[in-house]
Amino acid sequence: MTDAITGLNQDGSKMLNKVIHLLDRKGIKRMKRLLLVLLIMASLVLTGCSGINSNTDKKALLVVSFGSSFVENRKASIDATDEALHEAFADYDLYTAFTSEIIIDIYKERDDKHYDTVEEAIERIYKAGYGHVLVVPTLVINGDEYDRMIEAIEPFEDKIESLVISDPLLTKTTDYNRVADALVSELPDLGDDSAVVLMGHGTHHHANSAYPALDYTFKHMGHDNIYVGTVEGAPPFDEVAEDIKIGGYEKVFMLPLMIVAGDHAHNDMAGDEGDSWKLMFKSLGYEVDYELKGLGELPAIRDLFIEHAKEALEEESY
Amino acid sequence: MKKSSDRPDMAQFHKLLIAGGLLLIMFGTGCVSIGNGAGRMQITDDERFIDSMGRDISTADGYETVVSLYSAHTENAYIIGAGHKVIGVNSASTFPPEATDLPVLDYRGDPEPLIALKPDAVLTRPNTDMNYSDYIKAIEKAGIQVISLYPDNEEDFDTYIEILGMVFGTEEQASDALEDYHSRLDAISQVSGQVDEQEKLTVFFESTKAGYRTVTTDSNPARAITLAGGINLADDVKPVTKGSTIAEYGIEKLMVNSDRIDVYVSQRGGMNGGGSLISIPQREGFSAIKAVQDGNILEINQKLISAPSLRYDKGVMQLARTLYPWLWDALSEYDIPEPISRETYAELMVKVTGTPFFVPTSTLYYEKEHKVHTYGMFDDVRWWDEDFDYIETAVINSFIRGSRDADGTEHFDRMSPVTRADVAFTLFMLLELETTERSVEIGDLEGCGDPAMVQKLVDAGIMDLDEMGNFNPDLPVTGQEVLKWMALLEEDSLWAD
């Protein structure tokens, strides 16, 4: 009986139990069965359409990331961030989702391993009857991936009593200072002749402005030698190289401004072919060094995601 | 008592399920894995042939304008001297580079753009013919001759190229191209024959990362392993579906044989390729594979190793170079006291570093801007040149630079002698140089194109100055000098990985 009602929403479950209890006392077996079937059907319909998960203490933490097919890099960044967040919100049950369906398909086909899309994860959480859901996107900017995540979550806004979504890394003005501080704290000791280049992904989305804004923040904070560039947006390589030339530096140290040191970091930043930034900076005469470490591997960045999540919960409570 | 599955309706239902499942598997495995030939091609007389779908086709009137819906047909058409007759291609046709300037047609979409081109014929393959039959029928209805070709095995390959020659009216060039192709394969086979049986390396060929599949023993990649002098680990596999060249292997068998795999080859490109140099070592359990431990992983383009292309020998050659570099990348021929040209230097550098030939895998390659160099775009290095792969690879890997005019035209300047400035660039790119305390005064530093590089190499004692304290960037260098620098670097273990 208990198994039969698993997956129903909380209100439905309680009502169903009351009716069953009543029927048990009277011993009207056939009618009990009939009623039970009808109630389950009704409850299922309600769950699918307009049931609200409320009056429950069940809490779920949904960590959303882009994903990575590189297993080791995923473990070091995404999995580690998931764990750090779960540790910070220990009374929440952890759920994870990838926004990249290509990466989900790779795991499915290659390793027979299932990862949820955001749609699947939120549906799963809802059906499990959680009334308090904290969604943490471990994304750098409020770009396409974030928009798509919001689209997937929005339909559940009225179905889950408390549905809280925290901000990507670079959202509020204060975030820029905090991210800049966190990144500076993770940099190795470099001489005055070294420029630091943080290579972000970049996008056609208007949120690309986060990259030049972060570059500005570094400069404003007195870190004139730190430059932010992007592979597919602005500022592009040429502009970063021009600025570094003006700065008169001899060495370039690169770090990916991406959660995972995946394909872009290995190939576009540190690759040995074509337009890799390593080769292009070297061909301009710089000594080049780099670290293939995603932002998700940096404890200071993980802490920021935790702070964002806490702030989102605090805002919700007002 | 009769079991429910014995009932006629259930039996029929089961058949349907099996058929559906098979269809799903066929689609799921992607184009390379589907049985490619519906039937054997056949030349019936000088002006007639039967295509792979059984069409009886005459070439009496000639086909002056042809659309190719398969990348191998496109490549082969150009190689047999018929590129000027190709007026449209599919998106995967990225070789030769000039094919990417042609209108792109998509057989998964509307046939009207192709019909509007009014070609005399459309070249396709049975796979497309069967799976996109509505598209193909619409073309035929518009009065365009559809020709479906695919060689199912090695024996059919010559017939296929001969038929292409008939279609384009370039029979002689097709015959010559075939002769050259077989000569090149024979030459590789002869050199590989020098490898003792005991020294032969075992290869695992990953055709798709999904399920860690490999290839059947009669496939082009399996034949390439043999031609390159290797041993195919997967010599007892069966095709995933009848006629397919893809075969199941799986993680369990890979792990059981992990210590036997000397070289792990991954097929890249296409719909469902293998893994990458970066992703393969990161997979769960893969650190147990000998090839992964030794860093002997090779990515190879599907178009060179699997497709029925006259470029197949390049794939075989690449595999052979990876297996036995001492046979293929010997440097003795460069040990000469005369200055060497930039083209020779490019070849030398690719060999000395053991760099695999660069071939773009993405169909989007030409849609992106390439700052260093765009593959195939030198006006003095063409895809049919013997040293094309060496020069392209050397430039893409930044061993040597080409130049670019304001209008974007790229030159390699192949016959000019390689200079000290060129060598300085190579050394700087290959080495991880540290700034030293020493700062040698260089008389002609201002005349050096890359003063920072020259200064660091001189300060590190890797390159020297003349008696007058000049670097002489434009001075040609001999083959012996280049080898001396390379040997010095190797001894000092200063190689970049």
Minimal CA separation from A220 to chain B, in Å: 30
Q: Cα separations (Å) of A137 from A74, A131, B359?
A: 15, 19, 37
**Cα–Cα distance between B194 and B213 in angstroms, integer?**
30
**Cα–Cα distance between A51 and A7 in angstroms, integer?**
12
Q: Where are the beta strands (DSSP E) in B389-461?
A: 403-404, 410-411
**Cα–Cα distance between B489 and A91 in angstroms, integer?**
58
3-state secondary structure of A275: coil
Q: Do A283 and B372 touch (CB under 8 A)?
A: yes
Q: Cα separations (Å) of B20 from B6, B213, B240?
A: 20, 22, 15
B72: Cα within 13 Å, side-chain hemisphere: 24
Minimal CA separation from B96 to chain A, in Å: 19
Q: Output the pLDDT for position A317.
A: 67
B3 close to A (CB below 8 A): no
**Cα–Cα distance between B311 and B376 in angstroms, integer?**
15
Residue segments in chain B with a per-residue pLDDT below the cut of 50: 1-35, 37, 493-497
**Cα–Cα distance between B421 and B428 in angstroms, integer?**
11
Q: Output the pLDDT for position A245.
A: 97
Choose the catalytic residue: A132, A201, A264, A308: A201
**Cα–Cα distance between B324 and B303 in angstroms, integer?**
22
Q: What is the ipTM of this complex?
A: 0.82
| Backbone torsion region of residue B143, taken as left when φ is above 0, otherwise alpha when ψ lies between -120 and 50, otherwise beta | left
Q: Output the pLDDT for position B38.
A: 61
Question: Which residues in chain A are contacts of B402 at CB distance < 8 A?
Answer: none
Q: Do A282 and B435 touch (CB under 8 A)?
A: no
3-state secondary structure of B291: helix
Question: Which residues in chain B are contacts of A69 at CB distance < 8 A?
Answer: 279
Q: Do A286 and B433 touch (CB under 8 A)?
A: no
Q: Output the pLDDT for position B242.
A: 85
Q: Cα separations (Å) of B211 from A271, B81, B219?
A: 28, 40, 18
Question: What sign does the dihedral B253-B259-B265-B271 (CA atoms) show?
Answer: positive
Q: Give the nearest chain B residue to A281 (CA atoms).
A: B429
Q: Do B278 and A263 touch (CB under 8 A)?
A: yes
Residue among A62, A212, A182 nearest A122 (CA) = A62
Contacts (Cβ under 8 Å, ≥6 apart) of B110: none
Question: Which residues in chain B are contacts of A283 at CB distance < 8 A?
Answer: 372, 398, 401, 425, 429
Question: Which residues in chain B are contacts of A237 at CB distance < 8 A?
Answer: 371
In this structure, what DSSP letter does residue B427 have? H
Q: At what angle do helices A80-88 and A299-317 cross, to 10 degrees?
A: 40
In this structure, what DSSP letter does residue B475 have? -
C-beta separation of B331 from B348 below 8 A: yes
Question: Which residues in chain B are contacts of A241 at CB distance < 8 A?
Answer: none
Residue among A149, A146, A85, A91 nearest A116 (CA) = A149
DSSP strand pairing (B48-50 vs B56-58) = antiparallel
Question: Which residues in chain B are contacts of A73 at CB distance < 8 A?
Answer: 282
Question: What sign does the dihedral B465-B469-B471-B472 (CA atoms) show?
Answer: negative
**Cα–Cα distance between B169 and A130 in angstroms, integer?**
71
**Cα–Cα distance between B13 and B16 in angstroms, integer?**
5
A264 close to B (CB below 8 A): no
Which residue has tokens 């030198």?
B378
C-beta separation of B248 from B237 below 8 A: yes
Minimal CA separation from A106 to chain B, in Å: 7
Residue ranges of A 186-215 with Cβ closer than 8 A to chain B: 193
Residue type, A94: L
Question: Which residues in chain A are contacts of B435 at CB distance < 8 A?
Answer: 193, 250-251, 287
Burial state string for B195-209 with b = 16 or more CB within 10 A and e = fewer than 16: beeeebbbbbbbbbb
C-beta separation of A237 from A207 below 8 A: no
Contacts (Cβ under 8 Å, ≥6 apart) of B437: none
Q: How many CB atoms lie within 10 A of CB A5?
A: 17
B207 close to A (CB below 8 A): no
Q: How many CB atoms lie within 10 A of CB B444?
A: 17
Q: Cα separations (Å) of A216 from A211, A220, B147, B377?
A: 9, 6, 60, 38
Q: What is the pLDDT along chain A (318 residues), one digit of tens a residue?
A: 333 333 444 444 444 455 445 445 545 555 556 555 555 554 444 444 458 888 888 999 999 999 998 999 999 999 999 999 999 999 999 999 999 999 999 899 888 899 999 999 999 999 999 999 999 999 999 999 999 999 999 999 999 999 999 999 999 999 999 999 999 998 999 999 999 999 999 999 999 999 999 999 999 999 999 999 999 999 999 999 999 999 999 999 999 999 999 989 999 999 999 899 999 999 999 999 999 999 999 999 999 999 999 999 998 765
Distance of CA B91 to the CA centre of its chain: 17
Q: Cα separations (Å) of A100 from A104, B64, B139, B184, B268?
A: 6, 45, 37, 44, 21
Q: Give the nearest chain B residue to A280 (CA atoms).
A: B372
C-beta separation of B484 from B459 below 8 A: no
Q: Give the tokens for residue B210.
A: 């999904």
Which residue has tokens 């960045």?
A301
Residue among A232, A267, A268, A274 nearest B360 (CA) = A274
A222 close to B (CB below 8 A): no
**Cα–Cα distance between A11 and B445 in angstroms, integer?**
82
- Write out the DSSP string of A156-188: GTTTBSEEEEPPPSS-SHHHHHHHHHHHHHHSP
Question: Which residues in chain A are contacts of B373 at CB distance < 8 A?
Answer: 274
B25 close to A (CB below 8 A): no
Residue ranges of A 270-289 with Cβ closer than 8 A to chain B: 272-275, 279-280, 282-283, 285-287
Q: Do B398 and A283 touch (CB under 8 A)?
A: yes
3-state secondary structure of B121: strand
Residue ranges of A 120-179 with Cβ closer than 8 A to chain B: none
Q: Annotated catalytic, A114?
A: no
**Cα–Cα distance between B267 and B306 in angstroms, integer?**
8
Q: Give the nearest chain A residue to B392 (CA atoms).
A: A274
Q: How many CB pairs under 8 A join A and B?
A: 70
Q: Cα separations (Å) of B16 from A157, B9, B21, B34, B132?
A: 43, 10, 8, 20, 21
Minimal CA separation from A153 to chain B, in Å: 30
Q: Give the tokens for residue A239.
A: 């502009």
Supply φ then ψ for residue B387, to 5 degrees.
-95, 15
- Of B209, B398, B456, which has the smallest distance from its Cβ to A110's Cβ? B209
List B138's β-bridge partners, or say none.
none
* Length of chain A counted residue by residue: 318
- Of A70, A238, A280, which has the smallest distance from its Cβ to B282's Cβ? A70
Question: What sign does the dihedral B74-B77-B78-B82 (CA atoms) show?
Answer: negative
Q: Cα separations (Å) of B202 from A166, B259, B275, B278, B319?
A: 52, 10, 19, 21, 12
Q: Output the pLDDT for position A316.
A: 77
